[in-house]
Amino acid sequence: MLTPRGDDFPRWYQDVVAKAELADNGPVRGTMVIRPYAYAIWERMQAELDRRIKATGAENAYFPLFIPESYLRREAEHVEGFSPELAVVTHGGGKELEEPVVVRPTSETVINSYFAKWVQSYRDLPLLINQWANVVRWELRPRLFLRTTEFLWQEGHTAHATEAEAAAFAERILGEVYEDFMVEVLAIPVLTGRKTARERFAGASNTLTCEAMMGDGKALQMGTSHELGQNFARAFDITFSDETGSQEHVWQTSWGVSTRMVGGLIMCHGDDAGLRLPPALAPTQVVVVLVRAEDGAGEAAATLRDELVAAGVRTSLDDRLGTSFGRRSVEWELKGVPLRVEVGPRELADGVVTLVERHRGTKTAVALAEVVDRVGSSLIEGQRHLLAEATRLREERTVEVATLEEALDAASSGFARLPWAVVGEEGERRLAERGLTVRCLVRADGAGIAATEEDLVAVVARAY
């Protein structure tokens, strides 16, 4: 039904997106329709992220979609980075506009124009704002979820009194919000590190990143957290009077993750039968599948659903007896629901139901009285299993190399690690010619993000 991953990974991805009813192409090139099942996945991502973001003290707000063109031009690197991707509104309300407005590709410029009004004194700092919004970056080679002209995301924007505080906050977001969410909820083992100057966000002084390995060995950037230094503070004149009364520019961060993570989820855990959702994320953790309704099976299935819901498990009941059991099984496999509990009259006569674990592909007869407990432990085990499997794949496909030539070779099917001192800017250009990039710089000892240039190891890969 699906193209096997080994035959053609990109085709397999397209097949999963279409057949699991995740998304459709929009009518305007590069745009996307997020169908209900994928949107439910996105809502679960939002809920888990939003809780972590608010725990840092950040508050949600909403800024306008339309930004005057002149705002973009205020920060030189920023406008250079985003100009080629802008969508421009030239007519509104039946008239040509005096100044064209751009559809936000990101909101640093508009948000910082308000930070300049809101920040007066050190008492107003830190100012920690997040927004959930759509953004538009015109995309020439679109791919559903991974690269779309319009995408959904959250973007955080903060202002601090000192450089050290801003740096610490950018790291906190990367670790406590993004990495924690990706590892604990998505079961995706991400590398955290910083970007080279070449790969930095347009306008940032430092970009931190979470990088994941997909099922084909390629890298996906899952989220970034930037130190903006005082670049935007100067461009938008965001100043505060410190405790001595002197006027200072603020130090800033911005950070975001997007619907691209849905693509990462598919490509990290999916197999030849479709999606595999980590239980902590899955909108439906368990589907109780009624095989046939005879001999009280219908009532037993409904009761089981109620018991699981009462136990706090996100459960649905599939009693579509008009559709064949085989077809329904294929559908739940495709959609990657972690557990199926199959309830049929024959097994019920023996006091058992069948528990199917999507992450292992195992089927086990479980006594009816033990199902709720067993589901609980199986969900926990499934979560661990997916994380362990993805970690193992990444380790198998990561090679330590010593030279750029070796990296060019090794990174064609996985991650190559080598001293950053061996790569350098000239090395990055050579990698780029072969379609490779330094995904992130990590510490050789693996302990945290900050590091001197000499300590750094470059992780090189082909990337989405």
Q: Give the footprint of its own copies on this chain (CB under 8 A).
A: 24, 26-28, 31-36, 39-40, 42-43, 59-68, 71, 83-94, 100-101, 103, 110, 113-114, 117, 123, 129, 133-134, 136, 138-140, 149-150, 152, 322
Min CB(152)–its own copies separation in Å: 7
**Residue with Cβ nearer its own copies (73 or 360):** 73
**Rounded to an integer, what distance in angstroms lies between the CA atom of residue 312 and that of residue 373?**
12
Q: Are strands 286-290 and 315-318 parallel, antiparallel or unpaired?
A: parallel
How far apart are CB 7 and its own copies at their closest, in Å? 27
The least CB distance from residue 420 to its own copies, in Å, is 34
- CB–CB of 283/44 below 8 Å? yes
In three-state secondary structure terms, 282 is: coil
- CA end-to-end span of the chain, whole Å? 25
| Residue with smaller CB distance to its own copies, 277 or 449 | 277
* DSSP-derived 3-state class of residue 174: helix
State which H helix or E strand residue 334 sits in: helix 325-335
Looking at beta carbons only, is 219 or 290 nearer to its own copies? 290
Q: Which is nearer to its own copies, 28 or 432 (CB)?
A: 28
Task: Count CB atoms within 10 A of the CB of residue 331.
Answer: 18
Q: How many CA atoms lie within 13 A of 327 on its CB side?
A: 6
Give the nearer residue to its own copies in terms of CB position, either 47 or 388. 47
Given the complex with its own copies, which of 144 and 214 has the nearer CB atom? Answer: 144
- Least Å from the CB of residue 438 to its own copies: 27
* C-alpha dist (Å) from residue 405 to 47, 293, 411: 44, 64, 10
What length does the chain have? 464
Nearer to its own copies, 65 or 422 (CB): 65
Q: Give one DSSP letter per residue of 384-448, joined into a string.
A: HHHHHHHHHHHHHTEEE-SSHHHHHHHTTSSEEEEEHHHHHHHHHHHHHHTT-EEEEEEETT---
Least gap, CB of 209 to its own copies (angstroms) = 25
Spell 131-143 as b/e; 16+ CB within 10 A means b. Answer: bebebbbbbeebb
Q: Which residue lies nearer to its own copies by CB, 6 or 64?
A: 64
Min CB(227)–its own copies separation in Å? 23
Strand-pairing partners, residue 71, are: none
Residue type, 352: V
The type of residue at 132 is: W
Distance in Å, CB of 363 to its own copies, minimum? 29
Tokens of 256: 């975001």
Least gap, CB of 221 to its own copies (angstroms): 21
